């Protein structure tokens, strides 16, 4: 994907000029269709928006603003749980039955939908999404570019990666936070001291370490698991290193061997048995709101070890290709409200920790404000910098399957003593059989 294109466009907009342009453009950009999206006074229309939890709440919160602009166009937000939603959308797009007007997609699912041919190409008229490209976080926009150059979705929020750590646990172990981020070896060494001095585990599960390392050092033309020609990449050195470091952490007893989002995982945060976590910035909101609110003030944020850059999730809006043309225009205006309106983006961030994909929102003073849960650390500045450094990588329709295969093979290495080289060779053979299906 041409990640450099957007960065080059942004570099032409230095300093205050760029900020003013972004703010002005974003404020009015989504009104650009003008009369094309208007509805006659006596005409009543209902748009349907299909979404998954949290995205649905953000969409509903925007309905008063939408009604002021389109008093004759009601919006019904349909909610399904995450997995059910994406399954239902896949079925709807393939059969052209029960199509919503707007559908939300999570970033990890975007590649499969992009290559399915069921989504509208928003780069084409009358949408012309390319003109808004400089307004959006570069890697997020690039994630929505299909192999044929079509832009199939608009990012609404992102998940810049961060390392979260318990300051109180580090203090008890006499570990400086810089030791966690200087290198992966330093991160592991610090974890060993933390475990010895406090009994706390470095991390919940080593899969989190593997997930970052296989996304580090990707060469141009490569995806995570496949290159642009569907050649399988899982025997490359980045996979070898990811497995080696994960195995080292396991052998030292530094991971708690608990799965993210399990009850045990949440309890680890509440009880202070987990010293760090590698995740998206949005996890701070989850910790403060419901996972471990009583740990407020004990956590801090830092960049990922060795300056690694990784995105953790994110939501996009798309339009079905087979939707009626007139409804597409209204659907497009709804998407513009959700993605290009600065106030909508900031409201979603402040209320649901949905980190904005709109660059103009990043200029708001809210990004410089202290985060109470993080001991008044102005961590949003850190996440804003991380968001600019992340690069999009090409997606492949078999990426979700490849993720399962690699995760399974790592389990064989960790729990059954399988050699790393054999595990990756087995994964390579299986993925090669699936790559061209």
The SS3 call for residue 107 is: helix
**Three-class SS of residue 319?**
coil
160-311+392-435 in CATH: which number?
A: 3.40.190.10
What single DSSP character describes residue 289?
I
CA 73 to the chain's CA centroid? 31
Listed in order, the ranges of the chain carrying CATH 3.40.190.10 are: 3-159+312-370, 160-311+392-435
Residues 184-214 have pLDDT tens digits of 999 999 999 999 999 999 999 999 999 999 9
For position 24, what pLDDT does the model report? 41
pLDDT-wise least confident of 181-185, 250-254, 307-311, 383-387:
307-311
Nearest CA-CA partner of 164 in 311, 264, 350, 305: 305
**Average pLDDT of the segment spanning 100-113:** 91
What pLDDT is recorded for position 437?
63
Question: Which DSSP string corresponds to 128-157?
Answer: -GGGGGGGB-HHHHHHTB-TTS-B--EEEE
**Contact predicate 264/134, CB 8 Å:** no
Mean pLDDT check: name the lowest of 35-44, 85-94, 265-274.
Answer: 35-44
Residue 33 reports pLDDT greater than 80: no
- pLDDT of residue 364 exceeding 70, the answer is yes
State the pTM of this model: 0.85
Which pLDDT band holds residue 392 (cuts at 50, 70, 90)? Answer: confident
Whole-number pLDDT of residue 229: 86
Cβ pair 252, 231 in contact under 8 A = no
> For position 394, what pLDDT does the model report?
79
pLDDT, residue 434, reads 83
Q: What is the dihedral of CA 115, 117, 120, 124, to 10 degrees?
A: 80
Spatial distance between the Cα atoms of 156 and 356, rounded to a whole number of angstroms: 6
Domain 3-159+312-370 fold: D-Maltodextrin-Binding Protein; domain 2 (3.40.190)
> pLDDT grade, residue 30 (50/70/90)?
very low
Helices (H), 32-181: 55-61, 63-69, 82-95, 107-114, 138-143, 167-172, 178-181
Sequential DSSP letters for 353-380? --EESBGGGGGSGGGGS-BGGGTTB-HH
């Amino acid at each position: 994907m041409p990640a450099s294109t957007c960065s080059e466009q942004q570099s032409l907009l230095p300093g205050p000029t760029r900020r003013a342009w972004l703010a002005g453009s974003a404020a009015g950009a989504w009104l650009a269709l003008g009369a094309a999206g208007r509805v006659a006074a006596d005409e009543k229309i209902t748009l349907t928006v299909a979404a998954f939890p949290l995205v649905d709440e953000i969409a509903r919160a925007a309905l008063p603003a939408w009604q002021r602009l389109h008093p004759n166009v009601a919006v019904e937000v349909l909610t399904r749980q995450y997995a059910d939603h994406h399954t239902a959308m896949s079925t709807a797009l393939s059969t052209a039955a029960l199509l919503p007007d707007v559908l939300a997609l999570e970033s990890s699912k975007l590649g499969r939908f992009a290559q399915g041919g069921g989504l509208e190409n928003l780069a084409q008229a009358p949408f012309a999404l390319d003109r808004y490209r400089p307004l959006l976080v570069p890697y997020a926009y690039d994630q929505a570019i299909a192999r044929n150059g079509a832009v199939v979705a608009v990012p609404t929020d992102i998940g810049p990666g961060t390392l979260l750590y318990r300051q109180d646990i580090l203090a008890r172990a006499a570990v400086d936070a810089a030791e966690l981020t200087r290198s992966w070896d330093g991160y592991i060494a610090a974890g060993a001291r933390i475990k010895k001095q406090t009994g706390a585990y470095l991390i919940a599960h080593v899969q989190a370490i593997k997930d970052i390392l296989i996304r580090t050092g990707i060469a141009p033309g490569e995806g995570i698991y496949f290159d642009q020609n569907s050649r399988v990449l899982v025997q490359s050195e980045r996979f070898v290193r990811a497995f080696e470091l994960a195995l080292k952490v396991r052998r030292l007893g530094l991971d708690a061997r608990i799965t993210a989002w399990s009850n045990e995982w949440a309890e680890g945060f509440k009880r202070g048995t987990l010293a760090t976590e590698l995740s998206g910035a949005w996890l701070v909101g989850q910790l403060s709101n419901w996972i471990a609110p009583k740990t407020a003030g004990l956590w801090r944020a830092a960049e990922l070890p060795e300056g690694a850059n990784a995105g953790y999730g994110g939501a996009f809006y798309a339009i079905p290709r087979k939707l009626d043309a007139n409804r597409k225009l209204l659907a497009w205006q709804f998407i513009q409200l959700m993605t290009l309106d600065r106030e909508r983006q900031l409201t979603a961030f402040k209320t649901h920790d949905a980190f904005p994909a709109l660059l103009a929102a990043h200029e708001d003073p809210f990004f410089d404000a202290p985060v109470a849960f993080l001991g008044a650390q102005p961590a949003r500045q850190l996440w804003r910098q991380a968001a600019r450094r992340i690069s999009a990588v090409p997606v492949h329709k078999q990426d979700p399957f490849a993720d399962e295969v690699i995760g399974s093979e790592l389990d064989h290495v960790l729990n059954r003593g399988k050699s790393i080289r054999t595990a990756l060779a087995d994964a390579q053979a299986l993925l090669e059989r699936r790559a061209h299906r």
